[in-house]
Amino acid sequence: MKILAVNAGSSSLKFQLLNMPEETEITSGLVERIGYDNAVFVIKVNGQKVSKEQTILDHKVAVELVIKGLIENKIIDSLDEIKGVGHRVVQGGEIFKDSVVITDQVIKDIESLNDLAPLHNPANITGIKAFQAILPNVIQVAVFDTTFHQTMKEDAYLYSAPYEWYTKYGVRKYGFHGTSHQFVSQRAMELLDNPKAKIIVAHLGNGASLCAVDSGKSVDTSMGLTPLDGIPMGTRSGSIDPSVLMLVSQKENRSYADVLDDLNKRSGYLGVSGISNDSRDIVDNMNEGHKRATLAYKIQIKRIADFIGSYYVYMGGLDAICFTAGIGENAPIVRNDVIEAIKVLGAKIDPVENQKRGEHLISSKDSKIKVFVIPTNEEVMIAREVMRLNK
């Protein structure tokens, strides 16, 4: 069965076509700069990326281009081969505690949450409607970043703010990267052969979050109401005293929104180092003795260690730590330094295993905690949800 996994952004559309239940990729690609004359469509054909620049006015045109590309490149013979489409939706609020087959009411409910994800949910809806128009008789499923974290208890997701903010406006921790945390933790339980394992997943990329998983359920996570909260990232500050916004806005005569934009787009690695939001650039400059790059790196390592320590205590122990996403999968130095920072917990790295790529165990034989590298696959997780609901 062929399933499309889709991630629609405000000006982009990523997709992957998978054979299910084998979970093998048939092709993947993306459309960038939707709405511009110099938009780009990229699709993988026989393992090679084929790209084309052209005008793509909107998401409907982008979807038509994707479908046309699948047929013209003989990846599929007809649209009848596509049996389901799974859509990543960023914010499900408290309305959606599971993935769901998309209906008109579901779309209205997702739109009602736009205030919680103004940059993401409207774009996700645009992608959904575009695929519904092209594939009207195919099951469409919404898979939310937030639903995996709906198992958190009140003491983990509520802020110590006026309770009415929660009841009136939904102010609480929702968490994100849910499909990644779910995929990686499920795989870790398989590797440990322990469905009751206590696991911490470190999804480290330009966007980054940690998640404490106990017996397959998320019990805490570092991101909050928005993806800005938690550990420092490529351009995001992570957790910060809210009074900073008032101070800087007063000093620089700027609006709260402008200062918040700084915390989202000009902070983290980029803001502290003054060089780049890319961890590879940070490490390169750190190795050359660049003080601010070194500081940006050390701040993030400390914050990651802080969360791991708190989750260790909250869960009452820990069986495994799993590194995933761009940095987690490809930066041995980050993995080494994180584990070194929490060595008091008894975690140790095997330096030889840590240099290897792909899924593998990198902890030493005498480590009290297993440490894995597990490449994430959010598209497979989305396709699994389509299969589960396509009964």
Q: 186-234: per-residue pLDDT in tens?
A: 999 999 999 999 999 999 998 999 999 999 999 999 999 999 999 999 9
Q: Which two tokens stand for residue 85?
A: 């489409």
**Residues carrying an active site annotation:** 145
- Annotated binding residue at 172? no
- Annotated binding residue at 377? no
DSSP class of 205? S
Confidence of residue 180 (pLDDT cuts 50, 70, 90): very high
Burial call 34-43: b when 16+ CB within 10 Å, e when fewer: beeeebbbbb
Assigned architecture for domain 193-378: 2-Layer Sandwich (3.30)
Q: Where in the chain is the domain with CATH 3.30.420.40?
A: 2-144, 193-378
CA distances from 238 to 48, 208, 241 (A): 37, 9, 10
At the fourth CATH level, the homologous superfamily of domain 2-144 is ATPase, nucleotide binding domain (3.30.420.40)
Cβ atoms 270, 235 nearer than 8 A:
yes
| pLDDT above 90 for 46 | no
What whole-number distance in Å separates Cα of residue 24 and Cα of residue 58? 30
Residue with tokens 């911490």, as numbered in its chain: 200
Q: Which two tokens stand for residue 101?
A: 């087959």
What whole-number distance in Å separates Cα of residue 245 and Cα of residue 264? 12
| pLDDT above 80 for 10 | no
- Annotated binding residue at 124? no
Percent of the chain with pLDDT over 70: 100
pLDDT the model gives residue 32: 86
Considering the entire predicted model, what is its pTM?
0.92
User: End-to-end distance of the chain based on CA atoms, in angstroms?
Assistant: 13
pLDDT, one tens digit per residue, over 118-147 is 878 888 898 899 899 989 999 999 999 999
- Annotated binding residue at 86? no
Q: Where are the alpha helices (DSSP H) in 193-278?
A: 243-252, 256-265, 268-273
